[in-house]
Amino acid sequence: WFFGTMSRFEAQNILMEPPNDEASFLVRKSEKESIGYVLSVKSNNAVRHFRIPHKDESFYVEQTQQFSSLGDLVNYYCKHSLNDIVSLGSPCHKKKPNVEDINHLLDDWVLPKSEFTIENQLGNGCFSQVFRGRWKNHINVAIKVLKNDSVDNTEFHREVEILKRLHHRHLISLFAICTESSPYYIITELMEKGSLLQFLRGKEGQNQDAASLIDMATQVADGMSYLEEQKSIHRDLAARNVLVGEDYICKVADFGLARLVKEPFYISEEKKIPYKWSAPEAISHGKFSIKSDVWSFGVLLYEIMTYGSVPYPAGFNNREVYNKVKSGYRMEAPSKCPSFIHSIMLKCWQEQPENRPTFKDLRDMLERSSYELESPPGGSREQ
């Protein structure tokens, strides 16, 4: 029943899936450090979350019942009621673990193309075609076949050296590259539900409520706060560059290499610059920084809250958007968007980069807003 670090949202998705039924439960460690352990229980077709505060050797949900271990606490509530839940049922069904990271199997990052089999096409981007594929015929991967042959080989390898060091559960893992011949391949983990943009516009996305949308934004902010910590920048943060996997896990994709693969293209074809996502100083002076990523995050938040609509009023072309923004215009709150989420967007769109929040601030603000933990009387409620 112990599922390690897991967000509230993931716990909900996994518990709502068959064969889990009424009173199925799990214990997890919240992604938020100050929360600690949480007991998540399926009850009346919803999932309820009980915080388990612990101090020294004492764990509890209700202050009147203290236990010396999580195991004792679980055993007790398997026999006794907790709020209106009669007792805990069966532990949540554990899925076969995803082969998330094949890195430990690899001696080298540069692998021959012959080790990969290309299967069906998953997407067609401006810079690459993406295929589902297999490594050595048994591990599922995504294979990104670059269209641009003019990538500088030395720079490409230098950038990959940096990327190999970045590991975070909300960033796409880079597994390998194939550079023996053109076109180059970039091999990453496979994300079954495709880009966040497609997901939001599709049937499954349209069914998500505000709390779930905010949770997805929180995951992106979490991945970005790791990049921030590592002093790395993204340069093209947008819903099209976030990927969604099983249990709605969101991972930021396309960082790092974006500069090499995309920028030469942006410079040669000005109209391809993602104006609507770019901070004014990035457009006017090419000043990319983690703070220009924060600006883009505000636009991504807008995309999420509108289920993938195109930012800025229809009819605004790229240049008009830039000019309007320069003169102080900012997008209004989308319909049904909670006002505190709009105020977060406005913080990201501060004209002066240094006045914009950090990604860590953003993650904390979003977490505070979405993390409504339940607690029984006498228990501890998250503020």
Q: Which residues are catalytic?
A: 236
Q: How far apart, in whole angstroms, are the C-alpha atoms of residue 219 and residue 203?
A: 21
Residue 162 · residue 269 · CB < 8 Å: no
- Cβ proximity to ligand ADP: between 244 and 283 the closer is 244
User: How far is the CA of 173 from the CAs of 166, 197, 282, 319, 332, in angstroms?
Assistant: 8, 20, 27, 35, 35
- Cβ proximity to ligand ADP: between 66 and 318 the closer is 318
Q: Can you tell me which of 122, 216, 344, 366 binds ligand ADP, judged by CB under 6 A?
A: 122
Answer yes or no whether residue 218 interacts with ligand ADP by CB under 6 A.
no
Answer yes or no whether residue 254 interacts with ligand ADP by CB under 6 A.
yes
CB atoms within 10 A of CB 12: 21
Kindly state the number of chain residues that form the binding site for ligand ADP, as judged by CB under 6 A.
Answer: 18
C-alpha 2 chain-centroid distance: 23
CB of 131 to ligand ADP, least distance (A): 9
- Cβ proximity to ligand ADP: between 76 and 127 the closer is 127
Burial (0-12, 13-18, 19+ Cβ within 10 Å), 42: buried
Answer yes or no whether residue 233 interacts with ligand ADP by CB under 6 A.
no
CB of 128 to ligand ADP, least distance (A): 4
Phi, psi dihedral angles at 129 (to 5 degrees): -110, 140
CB of 126 to ligand ADP, least distance (A): 4
Restricting to residues 278-307, name those near ligand ADP by CB under 6 A: none
Answer yes or no whether residue 148 interacts with ligand ADP by CB under 6 A.
no
The answer on whether 96 is annotated among ligand-binding residues is no
Residue 91 · residue 1 · CB < 8 Å: yes
- Select the span of 105-113, 191-199, 208-216, 304-312 touching ligand ADP (CB under 6 A): 191-199
> Angle CA(328)–CA(331)–CA(333) in degrees, nearest 5?
135
Please give the span between the terminal C-alpha atoms of the chain, in angstroms, as a whole number. Answer: 26
Answer yes or no whether residue 243 interacts with ligand ADP by CB under 6 A.
yes
What token pair was written down for 160? Answer: 């990959």
| Residues at the site binding ligand ADP, with contacts judged by CB under 6 A | 122-123, 125-128, 130, 142, 188, 190-191, 194-195, 198, 240, 243, 253-254
Q: Which residues are annotated as a binding site for ATP?
A: 144
